[in-house]
Amino acid sequence: MNIILVGMNHKTAPLEIREKLSLSCWSDLNPLTELMKVPHVKEAMYLSTCNRVEVLAETTEAAAAAVGLRSFIFNHGNLTPEEMGRCLYVHTDIEAIRHLFRVSSSLDSLVMGEPQILGQVKDAYHLAMENKTTGMVLNKLVHHAFRAAKRVRTETAIASNAVSISYAAVELAKKIFGNLQGKAVLLVGAGEMAELAARHLLNQGVGKVLIANRTYTRALEIAAAVQGTAIEFNDLAARLEDADIVISSTGAPGYVVTRDMVAEALRGRKNRLLFLIDIAVPRDIEPEAGELDNAFLYNVDDLQEVVDDNLQNRRQEAEKAEAIIEEEVKKCQAWVNSLLVVPTIVSLRQKVEEIVKSELDKSSSWLGNLDEQTRKNVEIMTAAIVNKIIHSPIASLKEESQDDNGLTSSLVLVRRLFKLDTN
């Protein structure tokens, strides 16, 4: 088995590069079809979020498949060779499995412990299943990742007072204003990010929450849930003036809040500050808006400082979580190793059984003189001899598959001793 994971995330790629790939994937709603055309790829899953783009695949040849998968990301993101070399990471086999487990458990997230990533991994997996691009191997690995994530969330306090990008955005707003009591907030986008932000803001005592979304009925749903007010998306420019804080998180491929819109809103605010937080990838708010007087614009990468403060309080729980991950990786490794020994065990049994059959055929002249019961007794006896001969090597291989100590060399030795690779 050859597992490979190729990707980039917030640690390796700046926002500008992540945007390139996110934009291209926005226009291509199903990259799985193309992934399955990559040479040597047998199974594949594609994960794309604000902070990461990753491909997990089971291949017939990891090194060769890595070339094709890197080219896939290179072409889709319109990256330069230098950007690809600097930003892409490649993990294989156990390291790929460990990375999958850590991602699913939110240990690799921008905000450690945030709950959204597990749902995003599940969505990516369900899409792969719908497109029939997963099989026995990825199904097993991903379900094991879900189990690891569940253990982390139930056996540690890493998700207590759960944080998210939305939560970090609210924390940043508190640092800017000092107190959010009575402030007016405009949420652009009515997805999960927006709803989470609204709930965090209400806990901080904001005075008014406006929700703008392209689908007005969805804005009404969020407004009802958070005691806010829905506004028509076409009124967005006019309502910017009413907000002290704007948090934008749509899935639009271009800017929904431009510099000119912000400039017009500031003219009506009479020197009152306008705080803009863009947590969308691709970005929703034109970067030049942050150059205007009395406008303060922050994007997802700017939230890292807030995230770092949270990480300090989570390190002890993260250590517990990492220990759980290693336990689950070891269990998964045992399963992977069991797959490695199966072909050798099957070949060994077939080889010995072929020898027995050949010798019985050679003895057919005198075996034919035996009565039926005696012939059956001979066959039972030979089968018992076969099982006793191969019991020890099979048992040893299965035992070594549990901890990977010397497994590869043992497989080579067994195949050489019994000449399993010769015709």
50 tagged catalytic: yes
CA distance 145 to 102: 8
DSSP assignment string, 204-261: TT-SEEEEEESSHHHHHHHHHHHT-EEEEGGGHHHHGGG-SEEEE----SS-SB-HHH
Strand residue runs (E) in 292-338: 295-299
Half-sphere CA count of 301, side-chain side, radius 13 A: 15
Tokens of 295: 């406008």
Residue with tokens 């253990």, as numbered in its chain: 151
- Residue-wise over 345-355: b if at least 16 C-beta within 10 A, else e? beebeebbeee
Residue 186, H or E segment: strand 184-188
Do 227 and 185 touch, CB atoms closer than 8 A? Answer: no
The label of the residue with tokens 């369900």 reads: 126
Strand partners, 230: 211
Residue that the structure tokens 């690891």 belong to: 148
Q: How many residues belong to the chain?
A: 423
Q: Which two tokens stand for residue 191?
A: 């997805």
- Please give the backbone phi and psi of residue 231, each rounded to the nearest 5 degrees, phi first: -130, 155
Catalytic one among 25, 50, 87, 332?
A: 50
Q: Residue 128's closest CA among 117, 142, 146, 118?
A: 142
Task: For residue 229, give the 3-state DSSP assignment.
Answer: strand
Report, as residue numbers or ranges, the catalytic residues. Answer: 50
